[in-house]
Amino acid sequence: MNGGLPATHPDATHADTISARALSRLHAEGALRGIDVDFAALLRDRLRAPATVALAGALAMRAVALGHSSFALNDADRLLDALGTSAQLPDVDDWAAALVASACVAHAENAGDAGALLAFAHGRIALRRYARYEQALAESLHRCARIVTSDDDAAVLSSALRRLFPRDGAAAHGDIDRQALAAAMALRRRLLLITGGPGTGKTTTVARLLALQWMAARSRGAPPPRIALAAPTGRAAARLGEAIDGVIRADLAAGRLDADIADAIPRQARTLHRLLGTQPGRVSFRHDARHPLPFDLVVVDEASMVDLPLMAKLVAAVPETATLVLLGDPDQLPAVEAGDVLGGLCAASGDGLALPPADAQAVSVWLDTPVPARDDAPDDGAPLAGARVHLLRGWRQSDAATLQALADALQRDDRDAVMARLRDGGDSLAWHRGDATPLAEVVRREALPAFEAVRDADDPAQALQRASSLRLLTALRRGPFGAEHWNAWCAAELGARVPYFHGRLIAIGANSERHGLYNGDLGVVWRDAQGDAAVWFDTAQGLRAWRPAQLPMHASAYASTVHKAQGSEFDRVLLVLPDADARVLSRELLYTALTRARRRVVLWAAPEALERALERRTWRDSGLDARLRALSPASAGRSGS
């Protein structure tokens, strides 16, 4: 950036003066980055925009880096607060008037203005690119969220649902089986979100939902549904495929499924990039609105990890006649990139506990149980009402029960219960107070043996089996509590003398179609008798090895940030928080880290850092709900009834 900001415009208003001052101050303090201020300078110097517009542009760009797709003018103080600062900002009405008057800003009346770099709608300012994605997503969702009037025979559906979702004790007490409800809703809706915490049976539900779709198609005399399973990362896709396979096998053995349907249900899930078809050197995918995906049902797991541009492209590529089912846990950290899409979808679809009356009535007949209907006035209703079913009951057994209870307490924001659970500990939970136990001692005792077991395995296959037994998770990447430091520390403890030492654990950091390796895939370095190193991976084609120099981007996999570990699971997790407060510490970070563990969590954290993390919510601002509301002033429930 040039040494200062552009000079004040000759006919500057009071709002411009305030804006110019705010820009200088926020730049000087470091709250705005060079790139934000350069963008402001471009708007003012080259495009002759007033300082009000330049300030809005700089803040919109800064907001994207914090994960917001846009920010509300009347909530700009909150954005500054998140940046750890404050400044006098223009009066909201003056600011809005200046934005509407500027040729640099697209708004409802000049929406065709292709040259505008910013967009202003619903009181929110966004970089034009993100506004376009958000508007396109809202329009596609609005289209696909309409109710499908199923012409399936109610008796056939009832009997299929009874077979796939046998009643257990809970249902006998009058509770509805929310898993069966979700599967049934996928027959009425083109868009369905199935949300819930870990172990609430999202994958189990989706496996049975696929079977139900088959049974329904068969009874209708329709061709079998063409099904695609996908997830944002390779790891998550592999887990989804394996989990569906496990459910189908168990259901077949229990007589809940016929063999021909069990055989026909796909178990291979792919990354979203692979599903949509990456094209070398291009940001666009092979499948889009004009070349839709050749499927009738698209299931996407780990939806919380999908960012705004990718979700917009996915939804556009789902054909009008297909059903899109998104699975996710809205309490997890949102996508690293901008736009909390799952959060926006949840805001637009309500709590997922009650349905619009028309849905409730239809599904009650299929489930043979009264299903609660929303009783709010249609005009106040959520624009995607009925598009979400939230699963409540945790099903994981025994040794993970303490972890499940801890995750529940985090979800409820019951801090006393969280602290009590942590203090009580148990076989599956241990808390080392950061002020009392040296971290290196804990890592040496709790983590190192698992990494030594990888190194000392008999062969690469055994090493890879042991690779996901433990991961050290950090809040930060750099510094003494960061993943980079602990990766180097573990390597040194394991006796590393060369970068690709025998038994080194590697994680791939980007998707590579060419290799068939995906972000998060784990590999292990194995040296042969001549000392030559190869890195082995368990791929969809079986065990494969590459020379280190042939691999896509990768890093050691002993430690990683919680953000990076999203979509992965480990038997045990050692979570390390920094000894002082850091802005990344939040309840969602704790929740995401703890729910990565299947069996045991060891936490190293100072009580104060833990308390700060529990107090802070990850804040992601999104205009999706506002855009959806603008598209459907009446609720989806009314339009469909």
Ligand X SMILES: Nc1ncnc2c1ncn2[C@@H]1O[C@H](COP(=O)(O)OP(=O)(O)OP(=O)(O)O)[C@@H](O)[C@H]1O
Instruction: Say whether 223 counts as a known binding-site residue.
Output: no
The reply to whether 69 sits near ligand X by the rule CB under 6 A is no
Who's near 170: CB < 8 A, 6+ residues apart?
Answer: 177, 393
In order of 23, 37, 80, 117, the CA distances from 26 in angstroms are: 5, 9, 9, 21
| Span near ligand X by CB under 6 A; candidates 136-144, 201-209, 501-509, 511-519 | 201-209
Q: Which residues pair with 88 in a beta bridge?
A: none
| Span near ligand X by CB under 6 A; candidates 192-200, 212-220, 376-384, 414-422 | 192-200
| Least distance from ligand X to the Cβ atom of residue 268, Å | 18
| Least distance from ligand X to the Cβ atom of residue 332, Å | 9
| Least distance from ligand X to the Cβ atom of residue 242, Å | 10
Instruction: Say whether 196 counts as a known binding-site residue.
Output: yes
Binding ligand X (rule: CB under 6 A), the pick from 140, 150, 204, 586 is: 204
With residues binned 3-state (H G I as helix, E B as strand, rest as coil), the percentages for the chain, rounded to 5, are 45, 15, 40
| Span near ligand X by CB under 6 A; candidates 35-43, 202-210, 317-325, 582-590 | 202-210
| Span near ligand X by CB under 6 A; candidates 4-12, 194-202, 279-287, 441-449 | 194-202
The reply to whether 468 sits near ligand X by the rule CB under 6 A is no
Tell me the C-alpha distance between 409 and 413, whole Å: 6
Binding ligand X (rule: CB under 6 A), the pick from 243, 347, 371, 448 is: 243
Burial status of residue 497 (CB atoms within 10 A of its CB: 0-12, 13-18, 19 or more) = exposed
Q: Which is nearer to ligand X, 80 or 182 (CB)?
A: 182
| Least distance from ligand X to the Cβ atom of residue 301, Å | 8
Q: Which residues within the stretch 155-184 sit at the binding site for ligand X (CB under 6 A)?
A: 179
Q: Which residue has the tokens 């899109």?
A: 324
| Least distance from ligand X to the Cβ atom of residue 201, Å | 3
Q: Which two tokens stand for residue 111?
A: 């929406």
Tell me the C-alpha distance between 163 and 544, whole Å: 41
The reply to whether 200 sits near ligand X by the rule CB under 6 A is yes
| Three-state secondary-structure class, residue 112 | coil
Instruction: Say whether 4 counts as a known binding-site residue.
Output: no
| Least distance from ligand X to the Cβ atom of residue 395, Å | 3
| Least distance from ligand X to the Cβ atom of residue 516, Å | 23
Number of residues that bind ligand X (CB under 6 A): 12
| Least distance from ligand X to the Cβ atom of residue 152, Å | 22
Q: Which is nearer to ligand X, 180 or 467 (CB)?
A: 180
Q: Which of 637, 436, 481, 464 is nearest to 574 (CA)?
A: 481
| Three-state secondary-structure class, residue 594 | helix
What are the E-state strand segments in 482-613? Answer: 505-508, 522-527, 533-539, 542-546, 554-556, 559-561, 570-576, 597-605
Instruction: Say whether 198 counts as a known binding-site residue.
Output: yes
Tell me the C-alpha distance between 227 and 223, whole Å: 12
Instruction: Say whether 201 counts as a known binding-site residue.
Output: yes
The reply to whether 567 sits near ligand X by the rule CB under 6 A is no
Q: How many residues does the chain have?
A: 641
Q: Which residues pair with 568 in a beta bridge?
A: none
Q: Which is nearer to ligand X, 175 or 395 (CB)?
A: 395
Q: Which residues within the stretch 79-108 sit at the binding site for ligand X (CB under 6 A)?
A: none
The reply to whether 396 sits near ligand X by the rule CB under 6 A is yes
Eight-state DSSP code of residue 147 = B
Q: Diameter of the chain by CA atoms?
A: 80
| Least distance from ligand X to the Cβ atom of residue 326, Å | 13
Eight-state DSSP code of residue 548 = G
Cβ atoms of residues 399 and 427 within 8 Å: yes
In order of 177, 205, 363, 366, 394, the CA distances from 210 in angstroms are: 17, 9, 17, 17, 21
Binding ligand X (rule: CB under 6 A), the pick from 198, 343, 357, 386 is: 198
User: Count of CB atoms within 10 A of residue 353's CB?
Assistant: 12
Eight-state DSSP code of residue 549 = G
The reply to whether 244 sits near ligand X by the rule CB under 6 A is no
Amino acid 407 reads: A
Instruction: Say whether 434 counts as a known binding-site residue.
Output: no
Binding ligand X (rule: CB under 6 A), the pick from 44, 128, 202, 564 is: 202
Q: Which residues within the stretch 356-395 sit at the binding site for ligand X (CB under 6 A)?
A: 395
The reply to whether 332 sits near ligand X by the rule CB under 6 A is no
Cβ atoms of residues 329 and 304 within 8 Å: yes
| Span near ligand X by CB under 6 A; candidates 198-206, 217-225, 255-263, 352-360 | 198-206
Binding ligand X (rule: CB under 6 A), the pick from 57, 67, 90, 201 is: 201
Q: Which residues are annotated as a binding site for ATP?
A: 196-203
Q: Which residues are annotated as a binding site?
A: 196-203
Residues that bind ligand X (CB under 6 A): 179, 196, 198-204, 243, 395-396
